[in-house]
Amino acid sequence: MNESKLKPYMGYSHAGGSEEGAVLIFAHDIKEAKCVGWPVLHGMFVDDFTDMAVRIIKDGDYLFKQMPKWSVVKLNADIAHVVDNPPVCNNCEMWGGGEFNEEGYCPDCAEEIEDDRKYMADHPELSM
Ligand SMILES: [Zn+2]
DSSP code of 110? H
State the distance from the centre of ligand 1 to the C-alpha of 1, rounded, in angstroms. Answer: 38
pTM (two decimals): 0.85
Please work out, in degrees rounded to the nearest 5, the angle formed at the alpha carbon of residue 92 by the alpha carbons of 73 and 16.
Answer: 85
pLDDT tens by residue, 47-89: 999 999 999 999 899 999 889 999 999 999 999 999 999 999 9
- Distance from the CA of 97 to the center of ligand 1, in angstroms? 8
CA end-to-end span of the chain, whole Å?
Answer: 61
The 10s digit of each residue's pLDDT in 5-64 is 999 999 999 999 988 889 999 999 999 999 999 999 998 889 999 999 999 999 899 999
On whether the CB atoms of residues 50 and 13 are closer than 8 A, the answer is no
Would you say 27 and 33 are in contact if contact means Cβ atoms under 8 Å apart? Answer: yes
User: What distance in angstroms lies between residue 77's CA and the mean position of ligand 1's atoms?
Assistant: 30
- What is the side-by-side order of every strand in the sheet holding 7-13? 52-56, 7-13, 22-27, 81-83
Q: Please tell me the distance between residue 3's alpha carbon and the centre of ligand 1 in angstroms.
A: 34
Residue spans of the domains in the chain: they are 1-87, 89-128
